[in-house]
Structure 1
Amino acid sequence: MVCFSFNEMNAKKTLIGLGLGQIISLLSTFLSFAASEVTRKGINAPTTQSFMGYLSLAIVYGGIMLYRRPGIKVKWYHCLLLAFVDVEGNFLVVKAYQYTSLTSVMLLDCWAIPCVMVLTWVFLKTKYRMMKISGVVICFLGVVMVVFSDVHAGDRAGGSNPVKGDLLVLAGTTLSAACDVGEEFFVKNGDMIELLAFLGTFGTIVAAVQISILERGVLKEIHWSTETILLYLGVALALFLLYSLVAVLIQTNGATMFNLSYLTSDMWAVLIRTFGYHEKVDWLYFLAFATTAIGLIIYSMKEKDEEEQRMFLDEEDGESLRTRLIVAST
């Protein structure tokens, strides 16, 4: 039986992870509202929005990297592949909203979490004990409550092609999961500034090529009013902050924690609609938010047996070191 205690938590790391996760979730919520506003204006150019974010990363972190002039720690073609996967993952998920319902996207977007857990277990050798698995399950229960709430409220719009939309969501979330795991590897084994600089630079290039192929005609028809320009600048700033904070969260708490925190973005959207726009929502939303928050806290807790095992290994290493020193001195 696994025992645990709140006293066993690394309080600082836990609070930073939970706090950063919810800031990221709020930024994601803002981006969702911004994307809806762009769509309402009749602009169908999802890659163009991502382009502004990648460009801001390239300018800021690329400038910092050039100023520091560090030795390059990662292979440039690895970062190019990571950027390509990230751009296409974002594009596929946004594209899916044209074909399937919001409820389906919310449910299938959770597919990223088991993908991340499997990929980190296989490639990064991350071990998930019962406590973390329990936290993930509780988070999923919170999301299921949101889905049932939508159904209870009458959100049954199926979209023009639900099967195609669902497949796009699954493909996009799988790519996003792979990108998150790759980013976790790079930030834990390299330099975070370097990663963000390369991700921004190559993301800008990939997005620019895709825009020239798929969205060039749409951009010619856009009426660039002051409101539209400010909206795109706001999206660029939000994406810059999002990617910057995601890198910090993944470095300190891992890709799984990031994806679990991301689940609350839809719930923040509900709260904004409730208190900002005075819309009525089902009571299950609030229960779902609380359930997901509890799941995040449980996932962040350290298990007693894991801590004891680490202490035992540290003592064992220390004893081995003392033995080697005694032998060397004699």
Structure 2
Amino acid sequence: MAQNAHEEVYGNKGDDIGPTESTHVQPKGVSASAVSSENERGLGQAEPASNVDGVNPVLEDEAQSKGKWFQYVRTKQFWVVMLLGQVLAICITSTNTLSSLLAMEGTSIPAFQSFFNYVLLNLIYTSYTIYKYGFKKWGRLILKDGWRFFILAFFDVEGNYFVVLAYRYTTILSAQLINFWAIVVVVLVSFLFLRVRYHYTQYAGILLCVGGMGVLFGSDHLTGSNAFPAANEVKGDLFALLGATFYGLSNAFEEFLVSERPLYEVVGQLAFWALFINGTQAGIFDRAQFRAAVWSPKVGGYLTGYTLILTLFYSLAPVVFRLSSAAFFNISLLTGSFWGVAIGIEVFHLSIHWMYPIAFVLIILGQVLYFARQSMLAEAVKPWLGEGQERGHAGLGTAKRRVERPGVVV
């Protein structure tokens, strides 16, 4: 995505949390003194944050930490990423649980169910984008780059649709176990199209996380302790697999976009186009289910909870994409199966088998191993932004922001 094509639209692109200075991230193999102080959008020249020797401390630490073990694990950013990953896992598990509860109440409206989430996201992020850009620049944004966000929104809507649809036919545990396929999709897309090259420790970390999922899967099927009736488990699992594919495509594309643009713009545009796609799909496919749905205060409560939690999920996910990657985002969600059973103890009267805590620990260890050979900036440095990250956006969670403001955590 060429930088110059966006400058006309985003004359005041700004920062996710306010304007900052802009400095190139140090390319691999280039000394810190070679990093320029050129401003990202031509808003004036600014000197990079530096120590007494005139060297940026973040860039200096980045250069010295490459190729060493557990450098990133020792940073505050690592713990922020791990915490955010678990918050997102609990969020997605909560929405899955609410989808199951709605289906049990006789209300299965997979397209319409996500409609309110997109409405709320538009109220928050599209409104703020219009406030920042004005109607004229916002309109030009839609005309110039709307097609990119349309594709992102299509992937996202279909992912939500098929995953929610899966709960009409299969169990919550079965559908969650299918989600590991999204990791495969993300890794393939990132490797083939985004020029991401994974270290062998990252592959090992992913495999260890998937192994933890295998322990969950094995304990569930060997004991049968958490099994409950499914209308058509095979059909439901196929829908979940298709939804996971769309989720993988959506995650990789969103990571690409949010690294170049402000968070509020990406989320706002995603919600804007998704509103039309989702509304059309609901009108076509959900009419019969909508008429047959059971409407009650309990159903209204479930829909409200689903919407609020999913909106939080959409707000935090881009920060994780910036701090780490779509691949780590997806392996973080694997602990959702553990949280799902933990929630299910009260909601569905499930039981935790002794293998579940072991599986949870394996997944967490896999996530730590994933970062074992990462440098201080880790995956916040995106290969598609150029060696100096010159096409990147200096927003919350980006490498560019941390170079400009060494004192910030994210």
Above 0.5 in TM-score? yes
TM-score, length of structure 1 as denominator length: 0.84
Look up the equivalent residue of 2:148 and give its one-letter code: H
Match of 1:202 among 264, 273, 280: 273
Among 283, 289, 293, the alignment partner of 2:354 is 283
Q: Which residue of 1 aligns with 2:303?
A: 232
Q: What secondary structure sits across from 1:264 in the alignment? A: helix
Distance 1:232 1:218 in 2: 15
Equivalent position amino acid for 2:277 in 1:
V
Superposition deviation, residue 219 in structure 1: 2.4
- Indicate the residue corresponding to 1:261 in structure 2: 332
Letter in 1 for 2:150: L
Cα–Cα, structure 1 residues 214 and 129, in superposed 2: closer, same or farther, change >3 Å?
A: same
Compute the displacement of 1:64 (Å): 0.5
Is contact 1:85-1:179 (8 Å) kept? Answer: yes
CA apart distance, 1:274: 4.1
Q: Which residue of 1 aligns with 2:133?
A: 69
Is the contact between residue 6 and residue 301 of structure 1 (CA under 8 Å) also seen in structure 2? Answer: yes
Measured against aligned partners, the alpha-carbon deviations of 1:226-250 in whole angstroms (never above 9, x if no partner) come to 3322321211111110011111111
Cα distance in structure 2, aligned partners of 1:117 and 1:264: 19
C-alpha RMSD of the superposition: 2.7
Contact 2:97 2:172 (8 Å CA) reproduced: no
**1:59 equivalent in structure 2:** 123
What is the aligned partner in structure 1 of residue 157 from structure 2?
87
Matches for 1:74-223 after TM superposition, within 5 Å: 75-100=145-170, 102=172, 104-154=174-224, 159=230, 161-223=232-294
Counterpart of 2:90 in structure 1 is 26
Give deviations 1:182-204, integer Å, cap 9, x for gaps: 10110011221111111111111
1:91 maps to a residue whose letter is Y
Deviations 1:135-193 (A, max 9, x none): 10110110000001101221567955555444333322111111111101100112211
Distance 1:189 1:108, change over 3 A: same
Name whichever of 151-160 and 172-181 sits farther off. Answer: 151-160
* Runs of at least 5 residues in structure 2 that lack an aligned partner in the other structure: 1-65, 382-387, 389-410
CA displacement at 1:299 relative to structure 2: 1.1
Report the CA distance between 1:109 and its aligned residue: 1.8
Q: Comparing both structures, which one devotes a greater share of its residues to helix? A: 1
Give the unaligned 5+ runs of structure 1.
Answer: 311-316, 318-330
Cα pair 2:92 2:336 within 8 Å, conserved: yes
Q: Is the 8 A contact 1:9 1:302 kept in 2?
A: no
**What is the alpha-carbon distance in structure 2 between the residues aligned to residue 128 and residue 204 of structure 1?**
35
- AA aligned to 1:43 is T
Take 2:374 and 2:277, find their aligned partners in 1: how far apart are those partners? 42
User: Partner letter of residue 219 of structure 1?
Assistant: F
What CA deviation, in whole Å up to 9, does each residue of 1:282-313 have, x standing for no partner? Answer: 10011000110111111133347x99xx9xxx
How far off its partner does 1:279 sit?
A: 4.7
Distance 1:272 1:104 in 2: 15
Q: Give the direction of change, closer, same or farther, for the CA distance of 1:231–1:107 in structure 2 (3 Å limit).
A: closer
Highest RCO, 1 vs 2 (Cα 8 Å, sep ≥ 6):
1
Counterparts of 1:301 and 1:14, CA distance in 2: 11
1:23-54: CA deviation from partner (whole Å, max 9, x where unpaired): 00111121122112111110010212211111
**Farther-moved stretch of structure 1 (211-220 vs 127-136):** 211-220
Distance 2:296 2:178 in 1: 36
- Distance in 2 separating the partners of 1:164 and 1:217: 20
Higher mean C-alpha deviation, range 196-205 or range 293-302: 293-302
TM-score normalised by structure 2 residue count: 0.69
Range 175-184 or range 29-38, more displaced:
29-38
Deviates more, 1:19-28 or 1:5-14: 5-14
CA distance in 1, matches of 2:185, 2:302: 33
CA contact (8 A) 2:263 2:318 kept: yes
CA distance in 2, matches of 1:94, 1:166: 11
2:179 aligns to what SS in structure 1?
helix
